[in-house]
Homo-oligomer: A and B are copies of this chain.
Amino acid sequence: MEQRLSLITLGVADVAASRRFYERLGWVASSASNDRIAFFSLGPVGLSLYQRDALAADAGVAPAPPPAGAPVTLAHNVASRDAVGPCLAAAVAAGATLVKPAGDADWGGYHGYFADPDGHLWEVAWNPFVALDPDGGFRLP
């Protein structure tokens, strides 16, 4: 199995409502989106928003309630320490819930967390050890 990822799908209660949240972040939905699914191109990977029970059916598993805790987190890294707070504030202004305010991270960076309307956790992080590519890519050694 090749070492890559194509698409991340978040199970959501209401595709249209969730799409509007991400659009309020300033993101532009892919033209591949329709009433049943929304896609956002994140460069060479995609993010999709799909109704939770439909996603479970697609996977052939039983529907489940929204996740508790942090089974999976998605990180959005920023280029400077000073960019963390404003990015969290922008997410909250778009309708996110602040989960952890900006502060020093145990691993030596600076970060905070917000939850999207379905409880999916996003970390906004500045990592002083891994510089972002000029195009925003985060390439690990």
Chain A residues within 8 Å of B, Cβ to Cβ: 1-11, 25-28, 30-32, 39-47, 52, 55-56, 58-77, 87, 90-91, 94, 99-100, 105-106, 113, 120-121, 123-125, 129-130, 132-133, 135-141
Contacts and interface: CB of A to CB of B under 8 A. Distances in A.
B138 A45 contact: yes
A60 B11 contact: no
A62 B69 contact: yes
A59 B123 contact: yes
User: SS class of chain A's interface: helix, strand, loop or mixed?
Assistant: loop
B73 A69 contact: no
A63 B123 CA distance: 16
Given A39-B140, A43-B139, A123-B59, A72 B2 contact: no
Given A40-B3, A125-B6, A11 B72 contact: yes
Contacts of A1: 25-27, 76, 87, 90-91, 94, 124
